[in-house]
Amino acid sequence: MNRLSFLFWLLSAACAAAQTSGSQFGTDNYVEYIPGDLPLILTSPHGGRLKPDGVPGRTYGVTGADANTQELTHAIANEIFTRGGRRPHLVFSHLHRSRLDPNREVVEAAQGNPSAILAWEEYHRFIEQARAAVVKKHGFAFLIDMHGQNHKGERVELGYLHSPAELNQPAEVLNSPGFVARGSLALLVKRSKMPYTEILHGTQSIGALIAANGFRCTPSPQMPVPDEPYFKGGYTTARHCTGQTTGFQLEANRTRLRDTNGNRLKFARAFVTALEHFLAAHMRVTLRK
Ligand SMILES: [Zn+2]
């Protein structure tokens, strides 16, 4: 190997290492954690495709995958990196949802299969690991649990752990400390000086900011109370958006949002613009260097 080809080989090896460095995998590569350097964690439980022989199909509960949500999560992470040179932490389940549903408690999630139980434990351990690292470095963590829904009408559903009936109450109820404490944004509300109603569906809500960037959204000023069916946030949001971690569940519609590479990129740009504004307004943090 001459000097030039050695240098070329060294460069290619370094590039390959840079692409994969930092990824941590669970047993049999069923779950993956890609550490970042932002106080932001994106989790993707339902976009996996693996159907290994050792993990039988689940026999009850929802088994359909959220198509292209891993790709959407990567598109958002890449957009954040392109703008500010920093990366969110990413946690993926690579098992198809028919084999494991990490957004349920373990009995329904794994349905007794030892490999699925182990993958469930490792998935949530990676989230705990990310939360601990982020809180140690930044004092808080912001988590977004990434999903895809197929409800009628195109809209992004934001889940803060409140049902439509709960959201359809007078402002004084929504702004009371007891109600705030039951939602996934409790820490954000504490840091923001704005009332909870403003953060849920006012002009400074993430729903308003996403809608202003071209994607229908609920809760938002246009639709403060979602009509049913609506996903209010599941196991991951309830378990992990506690203490010094805050955040929400995001349910993306498919058409014109996550169906093609170009549409995922368009949404990623709109969403990152909205998220940057939201986090600056309420948490006083930037996603940029
Ligand atoms: Zn889902």
Dihedral of the alpha carbons of 149, 153, 158, 164, in degrees to the nearest 10: -110
Residue 273 CA to ligand 1 center (angstroms) comes to: 23
H-assigned helices in the chain: 3-20, 69-84, 106-110, 114-138, 164-167, 171-174, 177-181, 186-191, 196-201, 206-212, 235-240, 261-282
Query: Whose CA is closest to 215, among 186, 168, 178, 252?
Result: 252
Give CA torsion, residues 128, 286, 23, 114, to 10 deg.
30
Kindly give the distance from the C-alpha atom of residue 61 to the centroid of ligand 1, in angstroms, as a whole number.
12
pLDDT in tens, 9-59: 455 444 444 444 599 999 999 999 999 999 999 999 999 999 999 999 999
What spacing in Å lies between the alpha carbon of 6 and ligand 1's midpoint?
47
CA of 160 to the centre of ligand 1 (A): 15
For residues 2 and 198, which has the higher predicted lDDT (pLDDT)? 198
Measured between alpha carbons, how far is 111 from 109 in angstroms, rounded to an integer? 6
Cβ count within 10 A of residue 179: 17
Q: What pLDDT shows up at residue 21?
A: 57
Ligand 1 centroid vs 73 CA: distance in angstroms?
13
Q: Residue 259 — very low, low, confident or very high, per pLDDT cuts 50/70/90?
A: very high
State in Å: Cα 235 to ligand 1 middle: 11
Give yes or no for a contact between 233 and 160, defined as CB atoms under 8 angstroms apart: yes
CA 13 to chain centre: 32
149 C-alpha to center of ligand 1: Å? 7
Second CATH level (architecture) for the domain 22-282: 3-Layer(aba) Sandwich (3.40)
How are the residues of the chain apportioned to helix, strand and coil, as percentages rounded to the nearest 5? Answer: 45, 15, 40
- Record the tokens describing residue 279, joined without a space: 């986090």
Can you tell me the distance from the alpha carbon of 125 to that of 261, in angstroms, rounded to the nearest whole number?
Answer: 31
Distance 145 CA to ligand 1 centre (A): 9
Helix (H, G, I), strand (E, B) or coil at 89: strand
Omega before 221 within 30 of 0, i.e. cis: no
* Mean pLDDT along residues 204-231: 98
Give pLDDT tens digits for 127-142. Answer: 999 999 999 999 999 9
Distance of CA 53 from the midpoint of ligand 1 (Å): 23
Distance 111 CA to ligand 1 centre (A): 18
CA of 251 to the centre of ligand 1 (A): 7
Task: State mean pLDDT over 243-256.
Answer: 98
Spatial separation of the C-alpha atoms in residues 288 and 110, rounded to whole Å: 38
Q: How many Å lie between the centroid of ligand 1 and the Cα of residue 5?
A: 47
Dist. CA 14 → ligand 1 center (Å): 36
